[in-house]
Chain A
Amino acid sequence: MKLSQLEPGQTGIIKEFTDLEMSVKLMEMGCLPGESIVVERYAPLGDPMAITVSGYQLSLRKLEASTIILQ
């Protein structure tokens, strides 16, 4: 399951990434395999999304979130 498929309020644990370049940026921002994610909300127009990861809120586009595979 991809992160972009979660509904607000749902949680997931990062398993792996499908895009190497994106994964480097995401890991720098604390999105590491094994880390749990809470989807907080989607922007009013449906994109981007806001998640809570390692204790802070991160916003990312759905396209970017779709490279994160959850357990």
Chain B
Amino acid sequence: MNGDFKIALIGNPNAGKSTLFNVLTGLNQKIGNFPGVTVDKKTGYSKLPDGRIPQIIDLPGTYSLYPKSKDELIVMEALADKKSSVHPDLIVFVADASNLKRNLLLYTQIADLKIPVIIALNMMDLAKRNGLEISVDALSRKLGVQVIPISARNQQGIDKLKEAICNAGKIPLQVESIEVEALAPGLVQKIQAEMMVDLPYVALQFAHQHEQLHFLSADQSDRIEEIEQEFSFHSQKAQAAETIARYNFINEVLYDTITRKIDAKQETVSNRIDKVLTHKIFGFLIFFVILLLIFQSIFAWSEYPMSLIEQLFVWLGEAGHQYLPAGVFTDLLIDGILAGLSGVLVFIPQIAILFAFISILEDTGYMARVTFMMDKIMRKVGLSGKSVVPMIGGFACAVPSIMSTRNIESWKDRMITIMVTPLITCSARLPVYTLLISLVVPDEKVFGFINLQGIVLMSLYVLSIISAILVALVMKYIIKSRERGYFIMELPVYRMPRWNNVALTMYEKVKTFVLEAGKVIVAVSIVLWVLASYGPGERFKQIEKEYQATEFTERYSPEELDRLKASSKLENSYAGILGKSIEPVIKPLGFDWKIGIALITSFAAREVFVGTIATIYSVDGDDAHMESVREKMQSAKDPETGLPVFTAAVAFSLMIFYAFAMQCISTIAIVYRETKHWKWPAIQFAYMTGMAYISSLIVYQLMK
């Protein structure tokens, strides 16, 4: 479906653009990418009263056409490039009525691009409460465009807006706001003539932004540079002059369209809430409690649905083995693909819960306050206030947290946050830690009440935070960025969360995760299954034959025999051979080839370590048998020396390895998806594995 025509939604951040988009399109929306860039493109379709179905494009929120981030550049590219696939036939400009002056700055810029435009005047109720009286008719007359008062949250005025869209013509009717040529006399005309640009404002924008705009060729850009020198054009001075000229026009427009009832002494509700929520002491205390609540909920609420999903897959697997014809195809389907899928889908509850909270915090306006409070601390280590939330989420799972870094406008801050978030102790490390700790740390109390095992576990959590901060500090000096960091940020007024928006965010994030990360996880699971199920040459047949001998069938029960066979097969499978081949590399860390196999298989996900170790030591690897895994590990002896394999040195070396190593396919997949470049997951993998190797080496060599 291509849609009958294209409508772009444009407006300031917090003006209600996304809410209007959701109201117009419902669930009929899709997230893609803008051509050539790493910005999500939300598109959807809306049915008009006259039967036409236009495509609605949600462009990134911005305060002006001069972009502060790469996301915002999209707006200019979509509007100025007529050949662009997202070039709209009509613009719906979403304006916050309670803050009309600043909103109209972007409007006047858009209007000068001469695309038909309608103004959707959002948040009229809030404006009224703030004592503002806006004459919609006067505004419409002065700007020459249709102005429709709406309330996107309460879904009011949407029908009128749709009618206005139907009535909109193909010819732009908006009045001129400023005299563009006067801002750069001569230059504008020359660019217009040479580049065949029909609009003076587009020509001026070319002068400002020719280096960034993708659709201009290198030759064109060089020529513009020459023209600029000829007229000694100073981009920032021209921008400042333009902004002042536009505000002069806006002041004239608003002079008798807005009346403010003097009622200044009444302190706004938002201000009163802020006094508590950003209080010197209570502010941090409340933030801490909210974090605790989120953290607890992610664990507590997801436990039941997660085990339900696991059970469903176990049931599916059993049913499959029972009813499908036995054979390679069934094995691949169940042990490869189905196992891989369950690894993906089991994270859905955690992702949904984390994003529900994040979306509530954002919707209410609290997130902006967290950023405000934490900025100073985070800036010291090269991050920004906006990095706090993703890093906290990292305790649950790095995957949704990395998805939530989208809120960070500064590219450099966002990259550093993405790079360090996987260091935070996620829930997948927990089974590995608990198993190893119970193996080597005595269950004793120090000072009579502090559990030693608990201290070790907590130390691992603290270690993860310290390492994330240190790595961020290093990255701060390595990652280069031409962007100058800003913290000029609107603090939106507090509002009730929109529950359907929360639900939609959850749905969207889960969908993205399942589709995008899922592809990679399933592919790798299949590869791992093949590696663990097949061996070179006739080795597997020989094993089968060996175990059919009477000395085995008489000595062992059929179940025990199966386990022995599986263990022996694993040793001779490609994965086993791989384990043996990496043994020389991991020997200095204290790991043998069996642990090597577990390291390789748990590359898919850290918790796979427990399962693999369980298989290798020939026991069933589910939580109920954890005890026996431990016992087996405890009694495992080195065949040559006869000494125990899992000494304290080996166990701690392993824990440190899992603390730092990037043993998670899902994270690699999501980092690739978020950065749209293999370079970032590659760097991340290299530095984390390197750090893990060196730290484990030090720990093992010191402790052995």
Q: Using a CB–CB distance below 8 Å, which chain A residues touch chain B?
A: 20-21, 23-30, 32-33, 40-41, 43-48, 50, 54-61, 64
Question: Chain B nearest CB: distance from A34 CB in Å?
Answer: 10
Show 17 A/B contacts (Cβ-Cβ < 8 Å), sorted by A.
Answer: A20-B237, A24-B66, A24-B243, A27-B244, A40-B271, A41-B275, A44-B373, A47-B375, A48-B376, A50-B278, A55-B130, A57-B490, A59-B489, A59-B490, A59-B491, A60-B487, A64-B486
Say whether, besides A23-B240, A26-B488, A40-B274, A32 and B373 are in contact (CB < 8 Å): no
For residue B236, CB closer than 8 A to chain A, the reply is yes
Say whether, besides A24-B239, A48-B372, A29 and B377 are in contact (CB < 8 Å): no
* Contact between chains at B68 and A48 (CB < 8 Å): no
Chain A residue numbers with a CB within 8 Å of B34 are none
For residue B102, CB closer than 8 A to chain A, the reply is yes
For residue B141, CB closer than 8 A to chain A, the reply is no
Question: Chain A nearest CB: distance from B476 CB in Å?
Answer: 17
Could you tell me the dominant secondary structure of chain A's interface residues? mixed
Say whether, besides A48-B372, A55-B130, A25 and B491 are in contact (CB < 8 Å): no
Question: Chain B nearest CB: distance from A42 CB in Å?
Answer: 9
For residue B283, CB closer than 8 A to chain A, the reply is yes
Say whether, besides A44-B283, A45-B377, A61-B375, A56 and B484 are in contact (CB < 8 Å): no
Question: Chain A nearest CB: distance from B351 CB in Å?
Answer: 30
Chain A residue numbers with a CB within 8 Å of B101 are 30, 54-55
**Further contacts, 18 of them, CB under 8 A, given A24-B66, A58-B488, A59-B489:** A24-B236, A24-B243, A25-B486, A28-B66, A29-B63, A29-B102, A29-B490, A32-B247, A43-B375, A43-B376, A44-B283, A45-B376, A48-B372, A54-B99, A55-B99, A56-B102, A57-B270, A64-B487
**Which residue of chain A lies nearest to B283 when distances are taken between CB atoms in the complex?**
A44
Chain A residue numbers with a CB within 8 Å of B236 are 20-21, 24
* Contact between chains at B102 and A44 (CB < 8 Å): no
* Contact between chains at A56 and B372 (CB < 8 Å): no
By Cβ-Cβ distance, the 3 closest A-B pairs, closest first, are A57-B491, A30-B102, A45-B376
* Contact between chains at B98 and A55 (CB < 8 Å): yes
Taking each of B98, B130, B373, B489, which has the highest tally of chain A beta carbons within 10 Å of its own beta carbon? B489
**Which residue of chain A lies nearest to B238 when distances are taken between CB atoms in the complex?**
A24
Chain B residue numbers with a CB within 8 Å of A26 are 488
Chain B residue numbers with a CB within 8 Å of A56 are 98-99, 102, 490-491, 493
A33 to B244, CA, bound (A): 9
Chain B residue numbers with a CB within 8 Å of A33 are 244
Chain A residue numbers with a CB within 8 Å of B102 are 28-30, 54, 56
Taking each of B99, B271, B372, which has the highest tally of chain A beta carbons within 10 Å of its own beta carbon? B372
Question: Chain B nearest CB: distance from A6 CB in Å?
Answer: 17
* Contact between chains at B373 and A45 (CB < 8 Å): yes
**Which residue of chain A lies nearest to B109 when distances are taken between CB atoms in the complex?**
A28
Q: What 1/0 mask marks residues of chain B from 261 to 286 whose CB sits below 8 Å from any chain A CB?
A: 00000000011001100111101100
* Contact between chains at A44 and B488 (CB < 8 Å): no
**Which residue of chain B lies nearest to A32 when distances are taken between CB atoms in the complex?**
B247
A15 to B275, CA, bound (A): 29
Say whether, besides A43-B278, A47-B376, A59 and B98 are in contact (CB < 8 Å): no
* Contact between chains at A20 and B372 (CB < 8 Å): no
CB contacts under 8 Å to A, within B70-114, are 98-99, 101-102, 105
Chain B residue numbers with a CB within 8 Å of A30 are 99, 101-102, 105
**Which residue of chain B lies nearest to A23 when distances are taken between CB atoms in the complex?**
B240
Say whether, besides A28-B105, A30-B101, A46 and B487 are in contact (CB < 8 Å): no
Q: What 1/0 mask marks residues of chain B from 56 to 71 whose CB sits below 8 Å from any chain A CB?
A: 0000000110101000
